[in-house]
A and B are shown apart, each in its own frame.
Chain A
């Protein structure tokens, strides 16, 4: 039996809870990217992101009946679960020092150097992406999650507030602070890259985002 294509998340969830595997697959294909991307940007690791995605959908299979439509979208509900799992995992893994893995990670690194068009441009592009990624990953979790949701996943303030369980004003202020931190980090990284010491007078001047409160 083929499912109609115009089913909503809730309808798919109901079908899934009644044992329809096709509905589960459809729901997974619709919503897993959000969850995976969120986990990837928050954790910075594909393995972790896959684990979290799998765990989120396992929870949906087991406890999908607990979802309350009136409290937000299913996507927000899943991201909320992912967030809780991630924060728990990150807290647990804080004591471990990451080491570079061989195999896939190496292949990934080499891939960066395989330029198809302009090699210099490609390299700069990859560097920029890596720089931003590292800057995002170095943010404190409460700021990182807002940047991931609002800037990287382009969610509205309301959706982000639903997922994080806080007020829209809190989202706005956190985003504001997070972006300031990001700008400072990116500038500092650029200075390091160009050879200037961040501790020097010119480095400090460049690192701090200027604001005028006239």
Chain B
């Protein structure tokens, strides 16, 4: 009798109803705060919605306006975002890989300390960011960077780093790169550390000559899944940090729209002008951006053998 019961229990586990109970809390919150918002963003992007009246359907007018009428978007936001994302995304990613690869060749103690140094900038929150970079790049001659450059004789007049439009985007990129060694970096490091040593031995016999070849033919191919995870994290991070232009300059819109990224454009239209339909259209563009970038990295790193 008992054996029969166990047997029944084992077969009923082919479609275990309990699994849905385990999943329910996560799924409910996932649906309410991730899935439905994406759907609403897509629907709202097709409407004119000012938060007071019921949204009315206008089809692709928002998209058309975004491309044809919105000079700020086409002239500043889009080029800024592409420049920023292309440098911070792939750039931060490649940097993460090189550093992780170098660190993997050190013994545990120095490796742990150095990994902590590289990782810690990624956990500086908005407040620390504010304090740190706005003071270092302060525009008058008492600003740290200005003062150093003047003393070194490189410049004679203090530069308006953050409140002018010339240097804001490059500074944003530097700051973003500085804080880009996050979870993805740790994943790559762990991936390299867990590689099978015998592979390298075999490769040496097969004629792999130098470290560079080792990286290209063994290190990267054997840890593609980690590389893909890190790539997705790098992309998400780059877009998620889109607020730094506003944090650094202290104003939205940023001076001369120099640091205006797509995220700021959403906030500008959504929460400052309350044109939620239009802002949603911009959000959808952002989601498409992230998706395209992720597809590209999938193409590069997905396991193709199954």
**A and B part of one assembly:** no
B interface with A by C-beta (< 8 Å): none
A interface with B by C-beta (< 8 Å): none
